[in-house]
Amino acid sequence: MIKSDGGASAYYDLPKNAKTLNDIMEWKGDTHWLGDSVQLVNIFKAAWRWGTKDGTDKPYDARKLLYSAARLLMKHAGKEALNKILRDMLDDEQFRPDPVYRDPMLRFEADPNNSDNVVPVKLPKIPICKYRGKDVYSLDELEGLVGFYENSKSKGWRHL
């Protein structure tokens, strides 16, 4: 273990012959990471390329980081500890989904162009009844029409 005083520390020094990231990862794997090399290499690579690898994006790299970190945590703390930490994270307010207003006239279907996505599909409006020959789509609308009709009758307006 290298003791740090908060300043420059030897654990940030690179090997003398390192020219590429692969040189650094191999050196770390041989000298420090040992049995954790597979997951730490995946973490290191995902962080290094962060959103720049063709065919991937930042959410892909973030999932790679999270998955590899979870594997390390499971290895060193056990499945029960990993599951508790993941549950605690999901219970944390910052990770909970925001409440969403659900439009009853909207449903979601698989996006035919991207199986990882869903797309909103607006359902056709279906009238709940007719009032004086007009389609009515909600109770609020019906109440407004009935109120208007009753109020206008009292004023002597003629309805066709």
Tens of pLDDT, residue by residue over 87-131, are 999 888 888 877 665 666 666 666 667 666 666 666 677 887 888
Number of Cβ within 10 Å of residue 42's Cβ equals: 17
Tokens 């307006």 belong to residue: 157
R_g of the chain computed on alpha carbons: 31
In angstroms, the CA 16 to CA 24 distance is 10
Whether residue 10 is contained in a domain is answered as no
Q: With a threshold of 0.85, does the pTM exceed it?
A: no
Cα distance between the two ends of the chain: 92
Whether residue 8 is contained in a domain is answered as no
What mean pLDDT value characterizes the chain?
81
Whether residue 32 is contained in a domain is answered as yes
Domain count for the chain, please give it.
Answer: 1
pLDDT band per the 50, 70, 90 thresholds, residue 69 = very high
Whether residue 111 is contained in a domain is answered as no
For the chain, percent of residues with pLDDT exceeding 70: 76
